[in-house]
Structure 1
Amino acid sequence: MMQAGLRNLLACLFAVLLLAACGPSEPDQRKAFIGFLQTDILARPGVRLPRPDAEKQKSFGDYAGHYAVILRFHERMNTTVGKPMQEATAKAAPRSIEDVVARKTEIAAVRAGFTQMRQALDAALAAAESERAALKQPEDLAKVYASAYQKLVTEPAATVREVFPVTDETFAAILALAELIEANKAAIRVSGSQVDVRNTALRNRVQAAITAMNTKQSAMTAAQQKLRQMVYGN
């Protein structure tokens, strides 16, 4: 019976060794993952997040989890920043000066929402940085991964951050115009985008407020265009 037990134990050990031999070694896994980062991410324009199939992920071994750090960052950012920002911008964009006055409360609420988005972005980036710090990477992989992380995490976060101040300034200018008109509604007639002000001094103030709003809106559009260029690589 002891001999039979020994034979069974040796058979199990042999099976385990055979299975281990069939899987890719750590150097092969690292080579596959480095090749993926270089070919599918760094060599392509814009911020692209390819989704390796199960077979390809298997070839990465534990390094598949390193790419998951980047994917999780984008999932968090898209959910808490990207989609809310698109919806808020479309919702708050005034179609006329009359619209500015009529929707002042709504625009103020959207402006406040951007503060929450900025905090959400900071939280998403902090989570990614913490997860990255825990990764163990050989030097050759660390260099390539750092470039991929810079392209897919660091740069997108920095570019999105640039949108927040100019967006806040734009909303501030819009609300300043609305408040000026409301405070002097007896002397100002608004119809669509036409503003009729008889008093010269007040007309100058209104025109200055409109000019400031238009300038800030142009700056916000430029920041959004920069973000699109980074994402699509144009």
Structure 2
Amino acid sequence: MAGRLLTLLTCLLVGLLLAACGQSEADQRQAFIAFLQTEVLPKPGARVPQPNAEKLTSFGDYAGHYAVITRFHERMNASVANPMQDAMSKGMPRSIEEVATRKADIAAVRAGFVKMRDALDRSVATADAERDALKQPADLASVYAATYDKLVAQPVATFREIFPPTDDAFGAVLELAELIDANRPAIRFNGAQMEINNIALRTKMQTAMTAMTSKQRAMIEAQQKLRRMVYGG
């Protein structure tokens, strides 16, 4: 009886040890590589899949490597993507009358883009530092580098492309607002239209409006490029 109990305890102990050692570092690394190669890299756009708890466990310590990327996206969404979407939907005037009446608001929105750009720089600097501190075997390093490029470097580069045309577009709106302010007595608003009798001023106003429209178009094209990068297509 005692011998049988000892054998049973030995088997249980061996089973526990095998379970504890069931996933080697190589197994964890291969599970992480497989996830990146099948569920991240082939997918269109720059979306960040969220593995379930079981899958994260299978990555072992490499789950922390993926967390570098997910934390970056959390920071970027909170300080850049969401504020930018809100600014675009509320900031750009929808009529000439709004250009004339919302100059301070438009200037504040334009200043907010500077803060977003600074926040993006800080976010990617943090992610780059965390990535540089990772220790990765060669087989994982190449796959991770491609993933980091897809989910961090490319979104950052595309966001950075948006800031100049966006600043130009809002700057053109403010230039038009300044022109309107400087010539208030000579301008009469009739609904969505402006009535200007002075031919020289009318020409100036038309030139400013044409410049604003052109720069808004460039901003919209940059936004469309960002959407294609994020969602694919």
Tell me the TM-score normalised to structure 2 length. Answer: 0.92
- Is residue 45–residue 232 contact of structure 1 (8 Å, CA) maintained in 2? yes
**Whole-angstrom CA distance in 2 between matches of 1:191 and 1:228:** 37
Tell me the TM-score normalised to structure 1 length. Answer: 0.91
**Whole-angstrom CA distance in 2 between matches of 1:213 and 1:193:** 16
> The residue matched to 1:190 in structure 2 has which SS?
strand
**Whole-angstrom CA distance in 2 between matches of 1:146 and 1:21:** 29
In the TM superposition, residue 48 of structure 1 has moved relative to its aligned partner by 1.6
In the TM superposition, residue 15 of structure 1 has moved relative to its aligned partner by 7.7
> The residue matched to 2:194 in structure 1 has which SS?
strand
1:1-234 to 2 correspondence within 5 Å?
A: 17-22=17-22, 24-234=23-233
- Is residue 29–residue 59 contact of structure 1 (8 Å, CA) maintained in 2? yes
**Whole-angstrom CA distance in 2 between matches of 1:192 and 1:38:** 57
Which ranges of structure 2 fall in alignment gaps of 5 or more residues? 1-9
**Whole-angstrom CA distance in 2 between matches of 1:179 and 1:196:** 17
**Whole-angstrom CA distance in 1 between matches of 2:27 and 2:105:** 56
Q: Deviations over 1:96-116 (max 9, x none)?
A: 101111001100001111100
Q: Deviations over 1:161-220 (max 9, x none)?
A: 111111111111000001101100111122343122111111111000000000011011
RMSD over aligned Cα, in angstroms? 1.7
Q: Deviations over 1:132-188 (max 9, x none)?
A: 000000001000000000000000011011111111111110000011011001111
Amino acid at match of 1:140: D
- Is residue 81–residue 121 contact of structure 1 (8 Å, CA) maintained in 2? yes
Amino acid at match of 1:148: T
**Whole-angstrom CA distance in 2 between matches of 1:193 and 1:77:** 38
- Is residue 29–residue 62 contact of structure 2 (8 Å, CA) maintained in 1? yes
Amino acid at match of 1:21: C
**Whole-angstrom CA distance in 2 between matches of 1:170 and 1:155:** 23
- Is residue 42–residue 148 contact of structure 1 (8 Å, CA) maintained in 2? yes
In the TM superposition, residue 47 of structure 1 has moved relative to its aligned partner by 1.1
**Whole-angstrom CA distance in 2 between matches of 1:48 and 1:118:** 21
**Whole-angstrom CA distance in 2 between matches of 1:44 and 1:168:** 32
Amino acid at match of 2:205: V
- Is residue 99–residue 192 contact of structure 1 (8 Å, CA) maintained in 2? no
**Whole-angstrom CA distance in 2 between matches of 1:230 and 1:213:** 26
Which ranges of structure 1 fall in alignment gaps of 5 or more residues? 1-9
**Whole-angstrom CA distance in 2 between matches of 1:70 and 1:192:** 50
> The residue matched to 1:85 in structure 2 has which SS?
helix
- Is residue 96–residue 192 contact of structure 1 (8 Å, CA) maintained in 2? no
Segment drifting more, 90-99 vs 183-192: 183-192
- Is residue 98–residue 191 contact of structure 1 (8 Å, CA) maintained in 2? no
Q: Which runs of 4+ in 1 moved over 4 A?
A: 13-16
Amino acid at match of 1:139: A
